[in-house]
Amino acid sequence: MTTDVLIAGAGIVGAAIAAAFREAGGKCLVVEPKIVGGGATAAGMGHVVVMDDSPAQLALTEYSRRLWDALPLPPNVEREHRGTLWVAADAEEMEEVARKHALFPSSEILDERALYEAEPELRPGLAGGLLVPGDSVLYAPCAAAWLLRLSPVRYTAIESLTEDGARLADGTMVSAGLTILACGTGITRLLPALPIKPRKGHLAITDRYPGFLRHQLVELGYLKSAHGHSNESVAFNVQPRSTGQILIGSSRQYGDESPDVRPELLARMLRRTVEYMPRLVDLQVIRAWTGFRAATPDSLPLIGPVRDRVWVAAGHEGLGITTSLGTAALLVDRLLGDTPAIAPEPYLPERFP
Amino acid sequence: MIAVTINGRRADVEPGTTVAAAVMRGQAGFRRSVTGELRGPLCGMGICMECRVTLNGRAQERSCQVLCAEGMEIATDA
Amino acid sequence: MPSTLVIGGGPAGLAAAWAAAQTGDAVTLLDDNPALGGQIWRGEIPARYRRFLDPRITVRTGVQIHSATQLPAADRIILATGTRERFLPFPGWTLPHVLGAGGLQAMVKSGLPIAGKRVVVAGAGPLLLAVGGYLRKRGAKIVLIAEQAPLQRVARFTRSLWREPGKLLQAARLGWGLRYRTDAWPLRADPGSVTIQGHGVLRCDYLACGFGLVTNTELPELLGCKVEGGAVITDSKQRTTVPHIYFAGAGSVDRSILEGQIAGFDLERARALYPARDAAVRFDRRIDETFHLRAELSNLATPDTIVCRCEDVPFSAIWQQRDWRSAKLQTRCGMGPCQGRICGPALEHLCGWPAASVRPPIFPTRLENLLDLRD
């Protein structure tokens, strides 16, 4: 069978790429061994946020957030502009708030009084925070399905890459002008040399408590956890869902490739959470689960060619939902020879020889 | 008899009565589903979650496995 | 002194704890209800089984196990987590006057007044007769007991009971004077009534409706025990595939009591009970065959009928999905607080989808209870 673009992976990144190439007039085939949006896409928190660990990350997240805002998402994607509130525990963290304020578009510094007005359930004694109103939350599996709504999906795996495209596990030979691998941590099965490692995360969700939480809340130490490389770390990060449930993260861990919930790490994450929001102890937790982020050494995704007619789009760590659209746009621009909206160099796979 | 309060009204129940049974004596359904349907207990054994009430100020508590105790304050959302 | 931990204080768990105590073990019994007896006895343990309440057993009620880390250390664990009813969706099944068959019985045992109330009991299995008999004893007016199984099968089974006069007597005592009909099942429920195939619209205060029993395999699975086809795999001594973990009590009361004793006793005393247990297993199989769910029950739900009660997901949203996991992610079905215990068996029956794997917490629990867990 023949196609213009063969995309491996029906997660949010693969879905975004399929939608973008289709809109550009290309014929796409998406290949997925399991289900649409069932990997890290389903496990994660579904936030669309700007993050400033590096200028390249800020550029990609900002660009992607603009793209998300332009999409007419259906109701089942539950997109809400809740905004992110970065919580500062002390004067030192307030300095970090000021620094971020200069970088983030239309953000607002909150003093102590304003912080508690915004989020009354935060523990007393905090210094203030930074409100980023443009950030949103959404329900990612339905977003992936919506992005894929006009693209054919074949439920099988890529067994191997060929000169001409790929051989699928069901025996089909696909001839593709371009193959794009957007399969998250699974990418190293096909390209073992890529510097992508699975980084396990735990999450928990509560029953419905409308009004308990209004914004996505993140501690300023989140970036140290996310973009540091310690073996095991937790950081306060909670998110209100449109259902009134509270989604609780975050944990990061290398070296454990089992999907089992580790009660001790879950407990550690929850203890960090109640340090910031004490009354969460009374809420019913109805489910806990894990997911695997695809992590790279410099916390930036791999977006671009690895060899002739084989490109990759993976390694988005905890920003896959956000940056899926920017990733797709960069790849379409590259194919069409258009000038991209942001510089693509920082994300090129060739930066890792 | 044990005196409890259900949605502000006093109710006297036999010892050994669960909160769910105490509420059901007075009203057919006592929960609203996520789309607003009136619901009542289904399984009677702590599994279906349709018997959730606010118990002494705590929301989303299952009531079919909790015995009424003197002075309990029970609030339902329907 | 070796220690035995028993989870579940119904017939199987009580029998297991008692048997373990007879062998000299230090026995702890945990149950999530306020009173012992499980769902079938609910605090009213029959006189002939009161001997199971050996004072040497340490009993803790009101304890619900949501994570493996809660379990106190023990040389041996006997899981007797019992069964729950299978619910199949039909129009109106979410109305407040519709409860499970065991569900309504449980509510009445917990203080719900039933005297003078009109009750229709419907669904599948001997539980319907037991529930009808019990509710009548408590003053309910049993309008009809509607068993979905065909007359031929039920008649054949009843005739076969001549070999077991005790059971025949039990059935007769329960059923005497009750209007019990086969080939009958609920088509729809409306406020104040239920429509039963072959019997039209019946006014009722309650519809008590359950379609057989499903084993509570969540805790065994969480602990690594092999589960197949909804059943925990056990050997003749009731051992699971995990060395020091036993499982008892997935079937009838008689079988549960035998299984519990076999799990709790030493090998010699256990072996003496194997023939009776094996006969009980065979009997339960005959029950399953007799009251097997008929095809029409899979067609009761309409596109609008809610299948997932926690998230109000209608059948039409679900049947387009490829599998259980897609259905969950795309429609939220099974993501609510019941953790798929109500909709899961229904969808397994309607769509053939096998249940998904379990993760802790296997019951909703206050966040506070998850703060201090060690691996």
Q: Please state, in angstroms and rounded to a whole number, the distance separating the CA atoms of residues A112 and A94.
A: 10
Q: CB-hemisphere CA count at 13 Å for A108?
A: 13
Closest residue of chain C to A282, computed from CA coordinates: C366
Rounded average pLDDT over A202-229: 91
Q: What percent of chain A has pLDDT over 90?
A: 96
Tokens matching residue B70: 């003197």
Cβ pairs B/C, distance under 8 A = 115
Chain segment A257-289, per-residue pLDDT in tens: 999 999 999 999 999 999 999 999 999 999 999
* Residue A163 in this model has a pLDDT that exceeds 70: yes
**Residue with structure tokens 């975050």?**
A250
C360 and A282 in contact by Cβ < 8 A?
no
B66 and C34 in contact by Cβ < 8 A?
yes
Chain segment C279-322, per-residue pLDDT in tens: 999 999 999 999 999 999 999 999 999 999 999 999 999 988 98
Which pairing describes strands C365-366 and A284-295: parallel, antiparallel, or unpaired? antiparallel
* Residue B73 in this model has a pLDDT that exceeds 60: yes
Peptide bond preceding A250: is omega within 30 degrees of 0, i.e. cis? yes
| Mean confidence (pLDDT) of chain A | 96
Beta-carbon contacts of A308 under 8 Å, excluding residues fewer than 6 positions away, are none
Chain segment C316-361, per-residue pLDDT in tens: 999 889 899 999 999 999 999 999 999 999 999 999 998 888 999 9
* Residue A6 in this model has a pLDDT that exceeds 60: yes
Chain segment B12-66, per-residue pLDDT in tens: 999 999 999 999 999 989 899 999 999 999 999 999 999 999 999 999 999 999 9
* Residue C107 in this model has a pLDDT that exceeds 70: yes
Tokens matching residue A54: 């590096």
Chain segment C109-160, per-residue pLDDT in tens: 999 999 999 999 999 999 999 999 999 999 999 999 999 999 999 999 999 9
Of B37, B42, B68, the CB nearest to C100: B42
Closest residue of chain C to A277, computed from CA coordinates: C367
Q: What is the ipTM of this complex?
A: 0.97
- Determine whether A69 is exposed, middle or buried from the number of CB atoms within 10 Å of its CB (0-12, 13-18, 19+): middle
Q: Please state, in angstroms and rounded to a whole number, the distance separating the CA atoms of residues A129 and A235.
A: 16
Q: What pLDDT sits at residue C297? A: 97
Higher pLDDT: C311 or C251? It is C311
Q: Please state, in angstroms and rounded to a whole number, the distance separating the CA atoms of residues A294 and C163.
A: 65
* Residue C375 in this model has a pLDDT that exceeds 60: no
Q: What pLDDT sits at residue C365? A: 96
* Residue A5 in this model has a pLDDT that exceeds 60: yes
- C31, C63 contact by CB (below 8 A): yes
| Mean confidence (pLDDT) of chain C | 95
Chain segment A109-132, per-residue pLDDT in tens: 999 999 999 999 999 999 999 999
Q: What pLDDT sits at residue C161? A: 87
Rounded average pLDDT over A27-44: 96
Q: C75 in helix, strand or coil?
A: coil
Q: What pLDDT sits at residue A231? A: 86
CB atoms within 10 A of CB C289: 12
Tokens matching residue C273: 């009970």
Query: Is A118 within 8 Å of chain C by CB?
Result: no
How near does any CA of chain C get to the CA of B40, in Å? 5
**Residue with structure tokens 């693969």?**
A14
Q: B12 in helix, strand or coil?
A: strand
Which residues of chain B does A243 touch, with a Cβ-Cβ cutoff of 8 Å? 34
B58 and A282 in contact by Cβ < 8 A?
yes
Tokens matching residue C115: 């005297």
Q: A245 in helix, strand or coil?
A: strand
Q: Please state, in angstroms and rounded to a whole number, the distance separating the CA atoms of residues A339 and C70.
A: 58
Q: What pLDDT sits at residue C373? A: 66
Of C32, C64, C111, the CB nearest to B22: C111
CB atoms within 10 A of CB C228: 8
CB neighbour burial string for A325-353, b if at least 16 within 10 angstroms, e if fewer: bbbbbbbbbbbeeeeeebebebbbbeeee
Query: Is A207 within 8 Å of chain B by CB?
Result: yes
Q: What is the band of B78 on the pLDDT scale with cuts at 50, 70, 90? A: confident
Query: Is A114 within 8 Å of chain B by CB?
Result: no
B45 and C113 in contact by Cβ < 8 A?
no
The letter for the amino acid at C313 is V
Q: What pLDDT sits at residue C163? A: 80
Query: Is C84 within 8 Å of chain B by CB?
Result: yes
Name the region of B60 (left: φ>0; alpha: ψ -120 to 50; beta: rest).
Answer: left
Q: Please state, in angstroms and rounded to a whole number, the distance separating the CA atoms of residues A132 and C95.
A: 44
CB atoms within 10 A of CB C195: 16
- DSSP3 helix / strand / coil % (chain B, rounded to 5): 10, 35, 55
* Residue C85 in this model has a pLDDT that exceeds 60: yes
Of C68, C335, C365, the CB nearest to A284: C365
Q: Please state, in angstroms and rounded to a whole number, the distance separating the CA atoms of residues C177 and A104.
A: 78
A263 and C339 in contact by Cβ < 8 A?
no
Longest distance between any two alpha carbons in chain A, whole Å:
64
* Residue C170 in this model has a pLDDT that exceeds 90: no
- A14, A5 contact by CB (below 8 A): no
Query: Is A288 within 8 Å of chain C by CB?
Result: yes
Q: What is the band of C60 on the pLDDT scale with cuts at 50, 70, 90? A: very high
Q: What pLDDT sits at residue C368? A: 96
Helices (H) and strands (E) in chain B, counts: 1, 7
Query: Is B34 within 8 Å of chain A by CB?
Result: yes
Peptide bond preceding A192: is omega within 30 degrees of 0, i.e. cis? no
Q: What is the band of A230 on the pLDDT scale with cuts at 50, 70, 90? A: confident
Q: What pLDDT sits at residue C374? A: 62
C322 and A289 in contact by Cβ < 8 A?
no
Whole-prediction pTM value?
0.95
Q: Please state, in angstroms and rounded to a whole number, the distance separating the CA atoms of residues C341 and C344.
A: 5
Which helix (H) or strand (E) segment is A175 a member of? strand A173-181
Of A34, A42, A263, the CB nearest to C67: A263
- B5, B68 contact by CB (below 8 A): no
Which residues of chain C does B78 touch, with a Cβ-Cβ cutoff of 8 Å? none
